Amino acid sequence: MSKRIPSKEELAEFREFHTPSCGFFFRAKKHLFSEKSVFQQIDVIDTDSFGRVLFLDGLVQTTEKDEFFYHEMLVHPAMASHPKPEEVLIIGGGDGGALKEVLRYPVKSTTMAEIDAMVIEVCEKHFPWLAPVRSDERVELTIADGSTFIQESDREYDVILIDSSDPVGPSAVLHQQEFFWRLKDHLKPAGIIAGQAGSPIYHLASLREKSLFLSQMFKFSFFYVGPVPTYPGGTWSYFFVSDEINPLQDAAKDIPRGLQYYNAEIHRAAFSLPAFLKKELG
C-alpha cells in the first residue's frame, strides 16, 4: 500500500500533545520563527484562529487572540487586592503579557527576571504588546534564572508574580518549595505572591503538591481558576498566597479600565473552585 502523502495543510499543522492520546493542533498560515535557544526550542506561527502563537519546547505559551484570559487572571487578583502595589517582580513572563497588565497600575517599578533573552527578542518582534511596555521607564528587565535572581536580590516587593512555563526544563526550579521560601524572604508587609499553577485537568498532582506546601507557609493560601482556550483542558489554575491579604475580604478595588476578562465579579467567582478540585486540594 503506497505511503499516504500528508497534505500541504497537514504538513503545516502544529500539534501540541496534552496527553499521548489527545491534544490541540493549529494550522500555521506562516511559520514566523523557529530556533533553539540555550534553554528551549522557540517557535512562532501565524494562524487564522488565534493570530500569532508562541511555543516553547512545543508547548503553547501565549497567543495573540486569547492571551488576555491568562495574563489578566495571573496579574489582577493580586494587584487589585493589594492596598498599594508599588514594587512588583515578575519571574519568567518573557512574552511580556504579564508586564503589560502590571503597568496598568501606578507602580513605581516592575522588575522582570526572564532566563531566556531570545524569548524577549522574538516576542518583541512578533507580539505587538511587548515593545511598548519594554520602553516604559518603570521596567527593569534582567536576564537571569528566577531562582538565582531572588537568591542574590536585596530588594523587597509588594507583589511577586510567577509567570513560568510548565514545571519542566528551566522552569522546574520555579515550582519547588525552596524557591517559595526565598520569595517569602523578599516580600514587604502585606506582600502577595501569585502565579500560574497549571491545568486542573492534567496537572492535579503538581497542584496538590503546591497546595500542600503553600498552605503550610502562608496564612492565606488560595487557588483560583479561569478559562484559557488554548491551554490544556481549556481551563487554568493560579495560586494566591499572603500572610496579610485575603483576596476574598480585601476585595479587589481600583480595577483598571479596558480589561477584557477580569472584573470584580470574576474575582469572586474565580476563587470558588469546582467540587473535584476542592476535594483534591483539601
> Does residue 93 bind ligand SAM (CB under 6 A)?
yes
Size of site (CB under 6 A) for ligand SAM = 26
- Measured CA to CA in angstroms, residue 150 lies from 26, 89, 192, 263 at distances of 37, 10, 15, 31
Question: By the 8 A CB rule, do 129 and 155 touch?
Answer: no
Between 28 and 54, name the residue whose CB sits nearer to ligand SAM. 54
- Contacts of residue 198, defined as CB under 8 A and 6 or more positions apart, other chains included, come to 166, 167, 206, 207, 236, 237
Which of 43, 145, 163, 166 is catalytic? The answer is: 163
Buried b (16+ CB within 10 A) or exposed e, 105-120: bebeebbbbbbbebbb
> Does residue 72 bind ligand SAM (CB under 6 A)?
no
In terms of phi and psi (left: phi > 0; alpha: psi -120 to 50; beta: otherwise), the region of 190 is left
In terms of phi and psi (left: phi > 0; alpha: psi -120 to 50; beta: otherwise), the region of 143 is beta
Closest distance to ligand SAM from the beta carbon of 168 (Å): 9
Of 50, 68, 69, 70, the residue at the interface with ligand SAM (CB under 6 A) is 70
Question: By the 8 A CB rule, do 237 and 224 touch?
Answer: yes
Between 161 and 245, name the residue whose CB sits nearer to ligand SAM. 161
Window 191 to 220, contacts with ligand SAM (CB under 6 A): 196
Of 92, 195, 200, 232, the residue at the interface with ligand SAM (CB under 6 A) is 92
Cell of residue 146, nine digits: 528566577
Which range of residues in 19-27, 78-86, 113-121, 243-251 is near ligand SAM by CB under 6 A? 113-121
> Does residue 119 bind ligand SAM (CB under 6 A)?
yes
Between 47 and 245, name the residue whose CB sits nearer to ligand SAM. 47
> Does residue 237 bind ligand SAM (CB under 6 A)?
no
> Does residue 165 bind ligand SAM (CB under 6 A)?
yes
Of 53, 107, 113, 161, the residue at the interface with ligand SAM (CB under 6 A) is 113
> Does residue 232 bind ligand SAM (CB under 6 A)?
no
> Does residue 91 bind ligand SAM (CB under 6 A)?
yes
Residue with cell 518603570: 138
- Contacts of residue 230, defined as CB under 8 A and 6 or more positions apart, other chains included, come to 24, 50, 53, 60, 63, 66
Question: DSSP string spanning 31-68?
Answer: EEEEEE-SS-EEEEEEETTTEEEEEETTEEEEETTTHH
Between 245 and 270, name the residue whose CB sits nearer to ligand SAM. 270
Please tell me the distance from the alpha carbon of residue 154 to that of residue 148, in angstroms, as a whole number. Answer: 12
Which range of residues in 4-12, 90-98, 126-134, 212-220 is near ligand SAM by CB under 6 A? 90-98
- Contacts of residue 215, defined as CB under 8 A and 6 or more positions apart, other chains included, come to 221
Is position 46 annotated as part of the catalytic site?
A: no
Window 120 to 149, contacts with ligand SAM (CB under 6 A): 145-147
Closest distance to ligand SAM from the beta carbon of 39 (Å): 6
Count of H-run helices and E-run strands, the chain: 10, 12
Closest distance to ligand SAM from the beta carbon of 253 (Å): 26
Interface with ligand SAM (CB under 6 A): 56, 61-62, 70, 91-95, 113-116, 119, 145-147, 163-166, 170-171, 173-174, 196
